[in-house]
Structure 1
Amino acid sequence: MNSLDLHTIQAIVKKRNPNANKSHHGHALLVAGSKAKMGAAIIAAKACLRSGAGLVTLNISRKERQAVFAAIPEAMIAFREEDHSLEKHTAFGIGPGLGTDKSAERKVASLLENIKLPIVLDADALTVLANNPKLFTKIPPNSIVTPHEKEFDRMFGQHANNPDRRQTAIQKATEFQLVIVLKSSQTFITNGSQNFLNTTGNAGLAKGGSGDALTGMITAFTAQGYEPLQAACLGVFLHGLAADITLETQSEESMLISDVIENIGKAFRKIEIKDEGLSKKG
């Protein structure tokens, strides 16, 4: 198993072209949010933009548009009630706050049927998959699923511990041609043949919204042209590193995911400095 550390990440990350424009950095579509869970959509969109996506569109209900206008004016909106062209997008994130009712199930099934690029699937989208196992065969190859331990067990059966889950993750990643991000205190990433154990992050991330931010980050890196496994590794490492930086001004108890998102920029700065200032864990 490989350690996901500073050296590994520095070998992956691309320097941003100073002559590029927004179209060179991808257009992410986030299918997220519902009446009681718009915070999840907003968190995902903010993290996506902070992670370098050129354009971000939120696919939400028309009734919830004011929440987005007020919280994140940099994001665009596509109304869920209307047809929306998928071809212009370079990456897709589905699930944060989406809901798990029949409408959400139909939306997830439709997207899996019509999107040909890899998709980042999280949160409520994973519950939809767990409730409809036949949908696994519809997931585009090299898509990224990001379950925490309970979500993983709902999808793939009960496990006694994380070492057992990691073995199943390797098997399922191979079977369904997926990248699996098994979230825990030491997040495990696999595509079935390459396996990584993350070395950043702290207990302050054990709060609502952390997974939504990670979905936005991984989607951003996919939009920018990183291979799915690379996008997953970058997202996980920087998500944890931003949380570690947040401890400079917050405690693990007081940390909010909005604090972590505001420190994504500092995390980028840190990986640009060769081996300086980063204490490795694990």
Structure 2
Amino acid sequence: MKNHIQIDKTEILKRFKPIEPFTHKGMQGHALIIGGSYGKIGSVCLSAKACLKSGAGLVTAYIPKCGYDIVQISIPEVMVATDDYFEHIISINYDIQPDAIGIGMGIGQHPDTQHAFFNFIKANQLPLVIDADGLNILSQNKDYFELLTSGTILTPHLKELERLIGPWDSEENKIEKVKEFSEKFDVIVVVKGAPTFIIDKENVFENTTGNQGLATAGSGDVLTGIITSLLAQNYNPIDSAILGVYLHGLTADIAVPEIGHHAFIASDIIDNLGKAFLTLE
């Protein structure tokens, strides 16, 4: 099929950039991860740690106050900024200058959070990845689509995708609807599944890595962290999405022979990112 590309190692090596020998953390990009609510701070921890482990020089997590100790203790390398409110995010104000932002993991859909999300995307000009409840807020407020910066990356699983674009009656119909959606709003859509497709207007990229071990809680939070990290390191949006999805899948291919599909969890994706990157060096 025209404009349908298999994402394999050859395609990845065209896009991958090794880290320069004389770089420093200020040159490796500052990523901001926005999310979390009471009982769902783990999603931000997974995302932020994956972000660091994918090469970002600096990572800051923006969370409600209830998550402060959790993030500081569980990932000491990540900086933390908090909302004024305890249980969920009611406004998004930060005094750092990030290079890319990932938003939505565990953020919830409280009306105050939806309002904060609206104000954020209205003002944001930075490269952006939207996942999880960020996508659900978008699907409830479809007029927000017009506010997204060019090249924003959306990472829905199939249920979230259906809320965004409506139902489809075949695999071909699904892909066509996503292409139209991508074209209309100038966004890149990572359709998570087996296999995962990355759709950028007319172009469809089909990932070739990964296995059923990835069907586990937090897997998507990790993917958002990886893609946000690559964006912060100055990869363009489509290369960030393609490389992120490939590496995410590759970690499962590396780990599963040792630990099996049943025991593979989202933290194992993070733990095997180093090995995944080493296959490209």
Q: Which amino acid is 2:82 matched to?
A: F
What whole-Å deviation, never above 9, does each CA across 1:178-215 have from its counterpart, x for those lacking one? Answer: 01100011001011032200000000111110000000
Identity of aligned residues (%): 38
- Corresponding residue for residue 113 of structure 2: 104
- Corresponding residue for residue 166 of structure 2: 157
- Corresponding residue for residue 89 of structure 2: none
Paired with 1:235 and 1:161, the residues of 2 have a C-alpha distance of: 27
What whole-Å deviation, never above 9, does each CA across 1:42-94 have from its counterpart, x for those lacking one? Answer: 000111001001100000112211101111011001112273136x1100000
Paired with 1:124 and 1:162, the residues of 2 have a C-alpha distance of: 25
3-state SS of the aligned residue for 1:120? strand
Q: 1:15 aligns with which of 2, 14, 18?
A: 18
Paired with 1:83 and 1:254, the residues of 2 have a C-alpha distance of: 39
How big is the alpha-carbon RMSD for the aligned residues of Structure 1 and Structure 2? 1.1
Deviates more, 1:259-268 or 1:102-111: 102-111
Q: Which amino acid is 1:142 matched to?
A: G
Name the TM-score, length of structure 2 as normaliser.
Answer: 0.94
Paired with 1:160 and 1:216, the residues of 2 have a C-alpha distance of: 32
Q: 1:234 aligns with which of 230, 243, 259?
A: 243
3-state SS of the aligned residue for 2:102? strand
Paired with 1:83 and 1:123, the residues of 2 have a C-alpha distance of: 21
Q: Which amino acid is 1:136 matched to?
A: F
- Corresponding residue for residue 144 of structure 1: 153
- Corresponding residue for residue 35 of structure 2: 32
Return 5+ residue gaps in structure 2 as ranges.
85-91
Deviation, 1:118, is: 2.4
Corresponding position: 1:53 with 2:52: no
Paired with 1:251 and 1:93, the residues of 2 have a C-alpha distance of: 30
Paired with 2:132 and 2:126, the residues of 1 have a C-alpha distance of: 19
Q: Which amino acid is 1:65 matched to?
A: Y
Q: Which amino acid is 1:49 matched to?
A: L
Deviation, 1:159, is: 1.6
Aligned length: 271
Name the TM-score, length of structure 1 as normaliser.
Answer: 0.94
Aligned pairs for 1:186-205 within 5 A: 186-205=195-214
- Corresponding residue for residue 280 of structure 1: none
What whole-Å deviation, never above 9, does each CA across 1:106-151 have from its counterpart, x for those lacking one? Answer: 1211110111122100000000001111111111111000001110
Corresponding position: 1:249 with 2:252: no
Deviation, 1:257, is: 0.8
Aligned pairs for 1:195-234 within 5 A: 195-234=204-243
Deviation, 1:271, is: 2.0
- Corresponding residue for residue 83 of structure 1: 93
